[in-house]
Amino acid sequence: MDEMPDIIVIAHNIRSTHNVGALFRTCEGFGVTKLILSGYTPYPTTESDERLPHLSAKITAQISKSALGAETMVPFIHVDEPPIEGLRDDGYMIVGLEQDSRSVLLADYSVPERVALLIGEEVAGISEAHRDTCDNLIEILMHGQKESFNVSVATGIALYHLTQ
């Protein structure tokens, strides 16, 4: 692949502000076009923020601890549901990062020009309903005894492959 693909990351229902901060930092490092935070995923203060100011400031400070400024560098939005159809209409292949019988190993995945990488909550991953909306599912081969990586670590591994 000569050019880097256009990548958007969709982080749906991530609980930890530390994981969100790490996602911002990882997305910045890999040149991700946009980070879409959806569901109950915590997010930094926005211009039209409707949260109470002290809560928004507290959450932003927690995210900033692990983002180290990347939260001000990576364009992001917060929405209730991942905008799957809109992204697909814009030419993005919706790719879920999830262990599933339909998943292709990350190392064997042929990267399209435009990718919207969907990642799910820390424990349960991507819901079956959201998996069904994906064009492809990819997974990381595990060699140890644990069944999965931390969501921000897994995202970093996936982004490394998708940008090579």
pLDDT band at 5 (very low <50, low <70, confident <90, very high): very high
The model's confidence at residue 3, banded by pLDDT at 50, 70 and 90, is confident
Strands 34-38 and 104-105: unpaired
Q: Quote the number of domains for the chain.
A: 1
* pLDDT at residue number 1: 45
The 10s digit of each residue's pLDDT in 59-70 is: 999 999 999 999
- Domain housing 122: 6-162
Mean pLDDT over all residues of the chain? 97
Residue 1: inside a domain, yes or no? no
Judge whether 96 lies within some domain. yes
Cα-only R_g, the chain: 15
Per-residue pLDDT, averaged over 60-87, amounts to 98
CATH of the domain at 127: 3.40.1280.10
Q: Is the pLDDT of residue 2 over 90?
A: no
61 within some domain: yes
Per-residue pLDDT of 139-155, as tens digits, reads 999 999 998 999 999 99
Distances (CA, A) of 42 to 88, 90, 106: 25, 26, 27
